[in-house]
């Protein structure tokens, strides 16, 4: 079962089965990962939704089979203010609007740890037989390509550190972290073969700043395979 935000929904890989939640019909990592498990797992539901915050995730377990063996999720980016930073800093990182958004995001990230610990523990308690696999976020921009990219990448690094700390703080061996940053390295916006979607002709496109089909296959799914998650 897949839950969480737009990165798990597959927003970067249209077409969508739900325009509201931007769940990819064919190329989200949950569907690809289920196929890559070679029968070890069957995807029963992708309830992840674009714009989902930490507080939204428990409701995504509604109707979950008690026998669910694996839950994957990404969450925290919206709570960290990622959308606000991208919108405020699009015109340049040296504006008052951008600096205010970054300051707000920095403060929000610092406060996310206890919320994530509570969520991970709640998921594990709700589905005690399941492994809860938390995936983090890739750097969106090629290092050194643009000032805005450097700011966004720094924010991603900070959020990933909080996510890793929260997973460790649960003390629950069934709650594990899969770090996707190595798989996406060299494949950000600005690289020759990006795993992140961005259409410069339509900067407001829904798929922008999310893993594309390649990112879901060679980024997220490869990370799940490399960490042994898709084997029973």
In the chain, % of residues over pLDDT 70: 100
Of 163, 175, 184, 172, nearest in space to 226 by CA: 184
Q: Which residue has the tokens 């700390």?
A: 165
pLDDT of residue 145: 85
Of 20, 58, 69, 28, nearest in space to 46 by CA: 28
Task: Provide the 10 A C-beta neighbour count for residue 50.
Answer: 21
Residue 29 in any domain: the answer is: yes
CA atoms of 204 and 187, how far apart (whole Å): 21
Residue 169 in any domain: the answer is: yes
| Catalytic status, residue 210 | yes
pLDDT of residue 34: 98
Residue 127 in any domain: the answer is: yes
Residue 219 in any domain: the answer is: yes
Q: Over range 76-95, report the average pLDDT.
A: 89
Residue 68 in any domain: the answer is: yes
Given a cut of 90, whether residue 16 has pLDDT beyond it is yes
Residue 17 in any domain: the answer is: yes
Residue 231 in any domain: the answer is: no
CA separation (Å) from 101 to 52, 107, 146, 148? 19, 10, 18, 12
CA atoms of 10 and 27, how far apart (whole Å): 7
**18 and 88 in contact (C-beta within 8 Å)?**
no
Give how many domains the chain has, as a whole number. 1
Question: Which range of residues forms the domain containing residue 200?
Answer: 2-226
Q: Which residue has the tokens 């410069």?
A: 200
Catalytic one of 37, 105, 187, 210: 210
Residue 75 in any domain: the answer is: yes
HSE of 49, CA atoms in CB hemisphere, 13 A: 16
Residue-wise pLDDT tens digits, 132-170: 999 999 999 999 988 888 999 999 999 999 999 999 999
CATH code for position 17: 3.40.50.1110
CA atoms of 42 and 30, how far apart (whole Å): 10
Catalytic one of 6, 37, 50, 82: 6
| Catalytic status, residue 82 | no
């Amino acid at each position: 079962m897949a839950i969480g935000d737009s990165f798990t929904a597959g927003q970067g890989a249209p077409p969508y089965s739900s325009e509201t939640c931007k769940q990819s019909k064919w190329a989200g990592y949950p569907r690809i990962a289920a196929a890559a498990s070679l029968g070890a797992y069957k995807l029963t539901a992708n309830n992840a939704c674009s714009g989902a915050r930490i507080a939204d995730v428990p409701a995504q377990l509604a109707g979950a089979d008690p026998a669910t063996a694996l839950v994957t999720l990404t969450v925290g980016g919206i709570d960290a203010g990622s959308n606000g930073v991208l919108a405020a800093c699009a015109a340049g990182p040296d504006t008052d609007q951008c600096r205010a958004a970054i300051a707000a995001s920095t403060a929000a990230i610092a406060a996310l740890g206890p919320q994530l610990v509570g969520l991970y523990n709640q998921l594990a308690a709700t589905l005690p037989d399941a492994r809860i696999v938390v995936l983090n976020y890739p750097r969106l921009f090629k290092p050194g390509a643009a000032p805005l990219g450097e700011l966004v990448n720094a924010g991603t690094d900070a959020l990933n550190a909080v996510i890793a700390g929260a997973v460790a703080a649960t003390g629950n061996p069934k709650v594990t972290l899969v770090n996707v940053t190595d798989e996406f390295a060299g494949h950000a916006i600005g690289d020759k073969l990006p795993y992140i979607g961005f259409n410069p002709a339509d900067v407001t496109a829904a798929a922008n700043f999310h893993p594309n089909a390649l990112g879901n296959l060679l980024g997220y799914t490869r990370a799940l395979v490399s960490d042994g998650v898709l084997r029973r």
